[in-house]
Amino acid sequence: MKNLFVGNMSFQTTESELTELFKPYGAITRVRVVMDRETGRARGFAFVEMPNDDEAAKAVAALDGKAVGGRNLKVNEARPKGDAPRTPRFGGGGGGNSGGGGGRGKDRGGFSNEDYSEAARQPREPRW
């Protein structure tokens, strides 16, 4: 059983059109066009399950790059969700709490802000 990813699809491509496209290469177990939950529109990719690995390989070889609905399809073997490298959706890298130093509370041997609430503030020396 092979699960194939079909990407770069026209948003108007239907499951029945994909079924007709893949049918010449072998049996098809299931076709699922992924839809956006909020808008109900297609998201531009789908998954096609084929029970025979050889037939799936032939479909990938024949359909990868084929123009359908004005777009060149990207067809390959689907990878499990966890295998794909995660890239940030909006802009640069870096992760959540990558700020510097600090943050030593009472439980870690430091002092919390509460300890200084009664203390008088010391005047700063001029910089010149």
The pLDDT of residue 98: 53
Reported as a single tens digit per residue, the pLDDT across 109-118 is 555 556 556 6
Q: Where residue 123 falls among pLDDT bands split at 50, 70, 90?
A: confident
Q: Where residue 38 falls among pLDDT bands split at 50, 70, 90?
A: very high
CB contact at 8 A, 5 and 76: yes
Q: Where residue 128 falls among pLDDT bands split at 50, 70, 90?
A: confident
- The pTM score is 0.63
The pLDDT of residue 46: 96
Q: What region, left, alpha or beta, does residue 71 occupy, with left being phi > 0 and alpha being psi -120 to 50 degrees? A: beta
